[in-house]
Chains A and B, each alone.
Chain A
């Protein structure tokens, strides 16, 4: 299925958020996630189903003012 990850379309075989992140190479990275604009806590990723067309945001710490 196709999902939108950080604004780019990707093919994924992952059924839930945790496996999608692993597939995309985030593994043990310190990131925060949202699906379709809703925050998904790290602990909830294994139980968060991903469907075709979902919009996923993966954010990492960054410099800020």
Chain B
């Protein structure tokens, strides 16, 4: 079981709720993914408009836990205020903390992230920081009170997969006891399987499912990949090597000697 801030989860696949062709497809994709956690957000809504209310009504029928984000925030103040607003609306202490530092890559501003994480943790939030693969930043986030980390694989929505394998392996090895969820940049199920094979505890997928030609089928494919990757991790993968090793025993080979 995956445990996040004391909550035990069977599924190691978290799903974003944005960019689906329709609310009905979103609902079907969540079911196909067999996920237990979906991410949600807050946006401005005009009086009389009810799209946000409709969306929230749909999410509540899915029977999943929500992880609100602070997407779009560029400062500590914005992120902290948005977290307060999300806690009230969604009724959860969980917050996926995003503080964007650069608009082309949507790279986190890790300095502001650490500061905001400290403030929110002190206030009783359970913070899921969207961060880079940097070891020192990870250490600071844990020092600020985070007990889960969400390192990126690649820029949000890029579908590039695990961009910096060396650093991600180092992060996993260095923080062996901390739940690490790969967030952002995965494109296909094999990326998710690879993340789990490397020992990451879970993955969060949005664009790769929502923008697929068939989001529901892709959600199911990611669910299978996550299970396969986790199973492989438990089974103990062999180490890659440079030279061949015969798999068929060579003792008793005909025509030799």
Question: Which positions in A face B, CB cutoff 8 Å?
Answer: 6-7, 21, 24-26, 29-34, 37-39, 41-42, 57-65
As a 0/1 sequence over residues 3 to 22 of chain B, the CB contacts with chain A under 8 angstroms (1 = contact) are 00000000000001111100
Which residues of B lie under 8 Å from residue A24 when comparing CB positions?
46-47
| Residue of A whose beta carbon sits closest to that of B45 | A60
A-B contacts besides A25-B48, A60-B53, A63-B18, 17 pairs, CB < 8 Å: A7-B44, A31-B45, A31-B89, A39-B85, A59-B43, A59-B44, A60-B51, A62-B42, A62-B55, A63-B16, A63-B20, A64-B17, A64-B39, A64-B42, A65-B16, A65-B19, A65-B184
As a 0/1 sequence over residues 71 to 93 of chain B, the CB contacts with chain A under 8 angstroms (1 = contact) are 10000011001101110111000
Cross-chain contact B42 with A61 (CB below 8 angstroms): yes
A60 CA / B50 CA spacing, docked (Å): 9
A63 CA / B19 CA spacing, docked (Å): 8
A31 CA / B56 CA spacing, docked (Å): 11
Cross-chain contact B52 with A42 (CB below 8 angstroms): no
Our pick among B16, B17, B44, B84 for the contact of A58 (Cβ within 8 Å) is B44
The 6 closest A-B pairs by CB, nearest first: A64-B41, A60-B52, A25-B47, A32-B85, A65-B16, A65-B206
Q: Is the interface of B mostly helix, strand, loop or mixed?
A: mixed
| Residue of A whose beta carbon sits closest to that of B206 | A65
Which residues of A lie under 8 Å from residue B18 when comparing CB positions?
63-65
* A to B CB contacts below 8 Å, 20 in the list: A25-B47, A30-B89, A31-B52, A31-B89, A32-B85, A32-B88, A37-B81, A38-B81, A39-B81, A59-B43, A60-B44, A60-B45, A61-B42, A61-B56, A62-B42, A63-B16, A63-B17, A63-B20, A65-B19, A65-B41
